[in-house]
Protein backbone atom coordinates (compact mmCIF):
# COMPACT_ATOMS: atom_id res chain seq x y z
CA UNK A 1 0.00 0.00 0.00
CA UNK A 2 1.25 3.49 -0.77
CA UNK A 3 1.42 5.00 2.71
CA UNK A 4 1.95 8.54 1.51
CA UNK A 5 -1.17 8.49 -0.64
CA UNK A 6 -3.20 6.90 2.16
CA UNK A 7 -2.22 9.68 4.55
CA UNK A 8 -3.25 12.28 2.00
CA UNK A 9 -6.67 10.64 1.73
CA UNK A 10 -7.29 10.64 5.46
CA UNK A 11 -5.46 12.12 8.42
CA UNK A 12 -3.85 15.49 7.70
CA UNK A 13 -1.55 17.06 10.35
CA UNK A 14 -2.21 20.64 11.35
CA UNK A 15 0.53 23.12 10.67
CA UNK A 16 1.24 24.21 14.24
CA UNK A 17 -0.12 24.19 17.77
CA UNK A 18 -0.95 27.90 17.60
CA UNK A 19 -3.45 27.08 14.87
CA UNK A 20 -4.91 24.38 17.11
CA UNK A 21 -5.37 26.75 20.03
CA UNK A 22 -6.79 29.53 17.88
CA UNK A 23 -9.20 27.10 16.29
CA UNK A 24 -10.46 25.98 19.69
CA UNK A 25 -11.08 29.57 20.80
CA UNK A 26 -13.16 30.25 17.72
CA UNK A 27 -15.37 27.17 18.02
CA UNK A 28 -19.05 27.65 18.37
CA UNK A 29 -19.66 27.46 22.15
CA UNK A 30 -22.66 25.15 21.81
CA UNK A 31 -20.80 22.65 19.62
CA UNK A 32 -17.83 22.69 21.98
CA UNK A 33 -20.10 22.16 24.99
CA UNK A 34 -21.83 19.20 23.36
CA UNK A 35 -18.53 17.65 22.42
CA UNK A 36 -17.17 18.07 25.97
CA UNK A 37 -20.30 16.57 27.50
CA UNK A 38 -20.22 13.47 25.32
CA UNK A 39 -16.48 13.11 25.83
CA UNK A 40 -16.90 13.40 29.60
CA UNK A 41 -19.58 10.71 29.56
CA UNK A 42 -17.57 8.30 27.46
CA UNK A 43 -14.09 9.02 28.82
CA UNK A 44 -15.07 9.46 32.45
CA UNK A 45 -13.40 11.58 35.11
CA UNK A 46 -12.94 15.30 35.61
CA UNK A 47 -10.94 17.68 33.45
CA UNK A 48 -7.72 17.11 35.39
CA UNK A 49 -7.91 13.32 35.13
CA UNK A 50 -8.77 13.54 31.43
CA UNK A 51 -5.76 15.78 30.83
CA UNK A 52 -3.55 13.29 32.67
CA UNK A 53 -5.02 10.48 30.55
CA UNK A 54 -4.37 12.36 27.31
CA UNK A 55 -0.78 13.10 28.33
CA UNK A 56 -0.20 9.45 29.26
CA UNK A 57 -1.67 8.04 26.05
CA UNK A 58 -0.82 10.56 23.35
CA UNK A 59 2.04 12.73 24.56
CA UNK A 60 4.35 10.30 26.37
CA UNK A 61 7.48 9.53 24.32
CA UNK A 62 8.10 6.09 22.88
CA UNK A 63 7.25 3.72 20.07
CA UNK A 64 3.63 2.93 19.28
CA UNK A 65 2.05 -0.03 17.53
CA UNK A 66 0.66 2.37 14.92
CA UNK A 67 1.53 5.75 13.43
CA UNK A 68 -0.33 8.50 11.51
CA UNK A 69 0.47 6.53 8.35
CA UNK A 70 -2.01 3.83 9.41
CA UNK A 71 -5.75 4.07 8.68
CA UNK A 72 -6.53 2.91 12.23
CA UNK A 73 -4.87 6.10 13.52
CA UNK A 74 -7.22 8.47 11.75
CA UNK A 75 -10.32 6.26 11.95
CA UNK A 76 -10.18 6.04 15.74
CA UNK A 77 -9.61 9.78 16.14
CA UNK A 78 -12.57 10.81 13.98
CA UNK A 79 -15.93 11.79 15.46
CA UNK A 80 -17.57 8.90 13.59
CA UNK A 81 -16.17 6.65 16.34
CA UNK A 82 -19.08 7.86 18.51
CA UNK A 83 -21.49 6.20 16.06
CA UNK A 84 -19.23 3.18 15.74
CA UNK A 85 -19.20 2.58 19.48
CA UNK A 86 -22.99 2.54 19.68
CA UNK A 87 -23.28 0.30 16.62
CA UNK A 88 -20.69 -2.13 18.01
CA UNK A 89 -22.59 -2.58 21.27
CA UNK A 90 -25.86 -3.15 19.42
CA UNK A 91 -24.36 -5.87 17.24
CA UNK A 92 -22.32 -7.49 20.04
CA UNK A 93 -25.39 -7.72 22.27
CA UNK A 94 -26.97 -10.28 19.94
CA UNK A 95 -24.73 -13.15 21.04
CA UNK A 96 -26.48 -14.58 24.15
CA UNK A 97 -23.30 -15.89 25.76
CA UNK A 98 -21.35 -12.69 25.21
CA UNK A 99 -24.28 -10.69 26.60
CA UNK A 100 -24.58 -13.01 29.61
CA UNK A 101 -20.97 -12.28 30.47
CA UNK A 102 -21.55 -8.54 30.28
CA UNK A 103 -24.70 -8.63 32.39
CA UNK A 104 -23.35 -11.09 34.94
CA UNK A 105 -19.89 -9.68 35.51
CA UNK A 106 -20.07 -5.93 35.09
CA UNK A 107 -21.97 -2.93 36.40
CA UNK A 108 -23.67 -2.40 33.04
CA UNK A 109 -27.20 -2.27 34.47
CA UNK A 110 -26.25 0.18 37.23
CA UNK A 111 -23.66 2.23 35.35
CA UNK A 112 -23.76 1.54 31.59
CA UNK A 113 -21.60 4.57 30.86
CA UNK A 114 -18.76 2.84 32.70
CA UNK A 115 -18.68 0.11 30.06
CA UNK A 116 -18.52 2.74 27.33
CA UNK A 117 -15.67 4.38 29.23
CA UNK A 118 -13.76 1.09 29.55
CA UNK A 119 -14.21 0.37 25.84
CA UNK A 120 -13.13 3.88 24.83
CA UNK A 121 -10.07 3.69 27.07
CA UNK A 122 -9.08 0.31 25.64
CA UNK A 123 -9.38 1.54 22.06
CA UNK A 124 -7.36 4.69 22.82
CA UNK A 125 -4.56 2.87 24.65
CA UNK A 126 -4.12 0.08 22.11
CA UNK A 127 -4.22 2.51 19.18
CA UNK A 128 -2.15 5.43 20.47
CA UNK A 129 -0.28 4.67 23.70
CA UNK A 130 3.42 3.73 23.94
CA UNK A 131 4.03 0.01 23.42
CA UNK A 132 4.58 -0.82 27.14
CA UNK A 133 1.24 0.79 28.03
CA UNK A 134 -0.57 -0.97 25.19
CA UNK A 135 0.91 -4.32 26.22
CA UNK A 136 -0.07 -3.68 29.84
CA UNK A 137 -3.63 -2.93 28.72
CA UNK A 138 -3.77 -6.23 26.86
CA UNK A 139 -2.54 -8.13 29.92
CA UNK A 140 -5.20 -6.46 32.07
CA UNK A 141 -8.00 -7.35 29.65
CA UNK A 142 -6.79 -10.93 29.30
CA UNK A 143 -6.65 -11.32 33.08
CA UNK A 144 -10.20 -9.98 33.44
CA UNK A 145 -11.47 -12.34 30.75
CA UNK A 146 -10.07 -15.35 32.62
CA UNK A 147 -12.26 -14.49 35.63
CA UNK A 148 -15.49 -14.06 33.66
CA UNK A 149 -17.18 -17.46 33.69
CA UNK A 150 -20.74 -18.48 34.42
CA UNK A 151 -24.03 -19.89 33.18
CA UNK A 152 -26.29 -18.02 30.77
CA UNK A 153 -30.06 -17.78 31.32
CA UNK A 154 -30.54 -20.59 28.78
CA UNK A 155 -28.36 -22.94 30.85
CA UNK A 156 -25.26 -22.87 28.68
CA UNK A 157 -21.86 -22.23 30.23
CA UNK A 158 -19.77 -19.31 29.04
CA UNK A 159 -16.24 -17.99 29.50
CA UNK A 160 -15.07 -14.61 28.27
CA UNK A 161 -11.72 -16.18 27.37
CA UNK A 162 -13.44 -18.62 24.97
CA UNK A 163 -11.72 -17.99 21.60
CA UNK A 164 -15.07 -18.27 19.82
CA UNK A 165 -16.62 -15.50 21.93
CA UNK A 166 -13.48 -13.38 21.72
CA UNK A 167 -13.67 -13.64 17.96
CA UNK A 168 -17.32 -12.55 17.94
CA UNK A 169 -16.64 -9.46 20.04
CA UNK A 170 -13.64 -8.56 17.90
CA UNK A 171 -15.41 -9.10 14.58
CA UNK A 172 -18.52 -7.15 15.61
CA UNK A 173 -16.47 -4.23 16.91
CA UNK A 174 -14.16 -4.08 13.90
CA UNK A 175 -17.08 -4.28 11.49
CA UNK A 176 -19.01 -1.53 13.29
CA UNK A 177 -16.07 0.87 13.59
CA UNK A 178 -15.18 0.44 9.93
CA UNK A 179 -18.76 0.64 8.65
CA UNK A 180 -19.40 3.86 10.55
CA UNK A 181 -16.15 5.47 9.43
CA UNK A 182 -16.92 4.55 5.83
CA UNK A 183 -20.38 6.08 6.10
CA UNK A 184 -19.79 9.07 8.39
CA UNK A 185 -16.05 9.73 8.18
CA UNK A 186 -14.60 12.67 6.23
CA UNK A 187 -13.89 10.40 3.25
CA UNK A 188 -14.32 6.63 2.86
CA UNK A 189 -11.18 4.53 2.99
CA UNK A 190 -10.02 3.02 -0.28
CA UNK A 191 -10.34 -0.79 -0.50
CA UNK A 192 -6.64 -1.22 0.30
CA UNK A 193 -6.82 1.17 3.26
CA UNK A 194 -9.95 -0.56 4.55
CA UNK A 195 -8.10 -3.88 4.43
CA UNK A 196 -5.18 -2.22 6.25
CA UNK A 197 -7.57 -1.06 8.98
CA UNK A 198 -8.94 -4.58 9.44
CA UNK A 199 -5.39 -5.94 9.54
CA UNK A 200 -4.37 -3.44 12.24
CA UNK A 201 -7.38 -4.39 14.33
CA UNK A 202 -6.40 -8.03 13.83
CA UNK A 203 -3.00 -7.34 15.35
CA UNK A 204 -4.69 -6.11 18.52
CA UNK A 205 -7.23 -8.93 18.47
CA UNK A 206 -4.53 -11.58 18.19
CA UNK A 207 -2.89 -10.26 21.34
CA UNK A 208 -6.24 -10.53 23.09
CA UNK A 209 -6.52 -14.21 22.25
CA UNK A 210 -8.52 -14.08 19.02
CA UNK A 211 -7.30 -17.01 16.90
CA UNK A 212 -6.66 -16.11 13.27
CA UNK A 213 -8.62 -12.81 13.23
CA UNK A 214 -9.78 -11.63 9.78
CA UNK A 215 -7.30 -9.36 8.02
CA UNK A 216 -9.34 -8.18 5.03
CA UNK A 217 -12.78 -6.67 4.66
CA UNK A 218 -13.99 -9.74 2.78
CA UNK A 219 -12.80 -12.05 5.55
CA UNK A 220 -14.35 -9.76 8.17
CA UNK A 221 -17.75 -9.79 6.49
CA UNK A 222 -17.57 -13.56 6.10
CA UNK A 223 -16.74 -14.00 9.78
CA UNK A 224 -19.64 -11.76 10.83
CA UNK A 225 -22.09 -13.71 8.66
CA UNK A 226 -20.86 -17.05 10.03
CA UNK A 227 -22.16 -16.17 13.51
CA UNK A 228 -25.70 -15.60 12.22
CA UNK A 229 -27.23 -18.88 13.50
CA UNK A 230 -25.94 -18.17 17.03
CA UNK A 231 -27.46 -14.71 17.38
CA UNK A 232 -30.68 -13.83 19.17
CA UNK A 233 -32.52 -10.75 20.33
CA UNK A 234 -32.71 -11.77 24.00
CA UNK A 235 -34.29 -9.67 26.73
CA UNK A 236 -30.80 -8.60 27.81
CA UNK A 237 -29.96 -7.53 24.26
CA UNK A 238 -33.16 -5.50 23.99
CA UNK A 239 -32.53 -3.94 27.41
CA UNK A 240 -29.11 -2.86 26.17
CA UNK A 241 -30.66 -1.36 23.04
CA UNK A 242 -33.23 0.47 25.14
CA UNK A 243 -30.53 2.10 27.24
CA UNK A 244 -28.46 3.04 24.22
CA UNK A 245 -31.33 4.33 22.10
CA UNK A 246 -34.31 5.32 24.24
CA UNK A 247 -33.27 6.95 27.48
CA UNK A 248 -29.60 7.95 27.71
CA UNK A 249 -28.80 10.06 30.81
CA UNK A 250 -28.32 13.27 28.84
CA UNK A 251 -30.33 16.45 28.67
CA UNK A 252 -30.77 19.41 26.34
CA UNK A 253 -28.59 19.83 23.24
CA UNK A 254 -26.35 16.90 24.24
CA UNK A 255 -29.36 14.61 24.20
CA UNK A 256 -30.37 15.81 20.74
CA UNK A 257 -26.87 15.21 19.41
CA UNK A 258 -26.71 11.78 21.00
CA UNK A 259 -30.12 10.94 19.50
CA UNK A 260 -28.72 11.75 16.06
CA UNK A 261 -25.64 9.59 16.68
CA UNK A 262 -27.72 6.66 17.91
CA UNK A 263 -30.14 6.99 14.98
CA UNK A 264 -27.12 6.87 12.68
CA UNK A 265 -25.94 3.68 14.39
CA UNK A 266 -29.35 2.06 13.93
CA UNK A 267 -29.31 3.05 10.26
CA UNK A 268 -25.86 1.49 9.79
CA UNK A 269 -26.12 -1.88 11.55
CA UNK A 270 -27.26 -4.84 9.41
CA UNK A 271 -31.00 -5.25 8.90
CA UNK A 272 -30.95 -8.50 10.90
CA UNK A 273 -29.61 -6.57 13.90
CA UNK A 274 -32.54 -4.16 13.79
CA UNK A 275 -34.99 -7.03 13.39
CA UNK A 276 -33.63 -9.04 16.33
CA UNK A 277 -33.63 -5.97 18.57
CA UNK A 278 -37.16 -4.97 17.56
CA UNK A 279 -35.89 -1.82 15.86
CA UNK A 280 -37.28 -2.24 12.37
CA UNK A 281 -37.80 1.07 10.61
CA UNK A 282 -38.92 2.32 7.23
CA UNK A 283 -36.40 3.24 4.59
CA UNK A 284 -37.33 6.89 4.98
CA UNK A 285 -36.74 6.79 8.73
CA UNK A 286 -33.37 5.08 8.30
CA UNK A 287 -32.38 7.68 5.72
CA UNK A 288 -33.40 10.45 8.10
CA UNK A 289 -31.33 8.85 10.86
CA UNK A 290 -28.29 8.69 8.61
CA UNK A 291 -28.75 12.32 7.58
CA UNK A 292 -29.01 13.41 11.21
CA UNK A 293 -25.90 11.37 11.98
CA UNK A 294 -23.92 13.06 9.22
CA UNK A 295 -24.82 16.48 10.62
CA UNK A 296 -24.00 15.50 14.20
CA UNK A 297 -20.67 13.90 13.30
CA UNK A 298 -19.74 16.89 11.15
CA UNK A 299 -20.48 19.24 14.05
CA UNK A 300 -18.52 17.15 16.54
CA UNK A 301 -15.61 16.85 14.13
CA UNK A 302 -15.47 20.64 13.85
CA UNK A 303 -15.40 20.88 17.65
CA UNK A 304 -12.76 18.22 18.18
CA UNK A 305 -9.07 18.92 18.73
CA UNK A 306 -8.06 15.28 19.12
CA UNK A 307 -4.57 14.70 20.57
CA UNK A 308 -3.85 12.22 17.78
CA UNK A 309 -3.92 15.13 15.33
CA UNK A 310 -1.19 17.16 17.01
CA UNK A 311 1.62 17.94 14.55
CA UNK A 312 4.48 16.56 16.64
CA UNK A 313 3.43 13.02 15.68
CA UNK A 314 4.80 13.37 12.17
CA UNK A 315 8.30 14.19 13.44
CA UNK A 316 8.52 12.16 16.63
CA UNK A 317 6.79 8.83 16.17
CA UNK A 318 8.41 5.63 15.00
CA UNK A 319 6.73 2.31 14.43
CA UNK A 320 7.39 -0.65 16.67
CA UNK A 321 8.46 -3.60 14.53
CA UNK A 322 8.04 -6.14 17.33
CA UNK A 323 6.12 -9.17 16.02
CA UNK A 324 2.53 -9.57 17.17
CA UNK A 325 1.99 -12.77 19.13
CA UNK A 326 -0.91 -13.71 21.42
CA UNK A 327 1.58 -15.44 23.70
CA UNK A 328 3.59 -12.25 24.06
CA UNK A 329 0.63 -10.63 25.82
CA UNK A 330 0.01 -13.42 28.33
CA UNK A 331 -0.20 -12.08 31.90
Domain that holds residue 311: 43-232+305-323
Interhelix angle 131-147/191-207, rounded to 10 degrees, is 60
pLDDT in tens, 220-261: 999 999 999 999 999 999 998 998 899 777 777 788 888 999
Whether the pLDDT of residue 327 is over 50: the answer is no
User: Which range is most confident: 16-20, 101-105, 123-127?
Assistant: 123-127
Q: Give a yes or no: residue 269 inside a domain.
A: no
pTM listed for this prediction? 0.80
* C-alpha to C-alpha distance for 214 and 204, rounded to whole angstroms: 12
pLDDT digits (tens, 9 = 90+) for 271-298: 999 999 999 999 999 999 999 999 999 9
> What pLDDT is attached to residue 274?
98
Evaluate whether residue 282 is within a structural domain: no
Q: Residue 62 — left, alpha, or beta (φ > 0 → left; ψ -120 to 50 → alpha)?
A: left
Which comes out higher in pLDDT, residue 30 or 229? 229
Predicted local distance difference test score (pLDDT) of residue 142: 96
Could you give the CA distance from residue 298 to residue 270 in angstroms, rounded to a whole number? 23
187 located within any domain = yes
- Is residue 281 in some structural domain? no
Query: In sequence order, what DSSP letters do the residues of 243-292 get, joined into one string?
Result: HHHT--S--HHHHHHHHHHHHHHHHHS-HHHHHHTT----HHHHHHHHHH
Instruction: List all residues 6 or more positions away from 133 whose beta carbon is below 8 Å from its beta carbon.
Output: 56, 57, 60, 125
On whether residue 276 sits in a domain, the answer given is: no
pLDDT on residue 109: 56
The pLDDT tens digits of the residues spanning 37-87 come to 555 555 555 555 667 777 888 888 889 999 889 999 999 999 999 999 999
Q: Is 119 within a domain? A: yes
**Domain tally for the chain?**
1
Percent of the chain predicted with pLDDT > 70: 73
pLDDT of residue 18: 34
pLDDT at 310: 54
Per-residue pLDDT at 32 exceeds 60: no
Assess if residue 167 is contained within a domain: yes
Which range, of 2-16, 136-150, 255-269, 306-320, averages the lowest pLDDT? 2-16
Q: Would residue 153 count as lying in a domain? A: yes
Please give the residue that has the higher pLDDT: either 195 or 299.
195
Task: Point out the least confidently predicted range of 100-109, 261-270, 312-321.
Answer: 312-321
> Counting beta carbons within 10 angstroms of the beta carbon of residue 311, is it exposed (0 to 12), middle (13 to 18) or buried (19 or more)?
middle
Give 178-224 pLDDT, tens digit per residue: 999 999 999 999 999 999 999 999 999 999 999 999 999 999 999 99
Amino acid sequence: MNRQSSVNRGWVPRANTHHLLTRDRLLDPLAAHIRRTLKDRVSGGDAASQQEREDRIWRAPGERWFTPDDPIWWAHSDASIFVGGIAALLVQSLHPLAMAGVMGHSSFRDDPWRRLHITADHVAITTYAPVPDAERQVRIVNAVHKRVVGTAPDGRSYAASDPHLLTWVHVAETWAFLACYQRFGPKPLSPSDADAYVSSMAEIGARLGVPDPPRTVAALEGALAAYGPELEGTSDARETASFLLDDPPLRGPERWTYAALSAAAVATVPAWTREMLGRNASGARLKAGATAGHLAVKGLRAAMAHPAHEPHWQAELTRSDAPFSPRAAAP
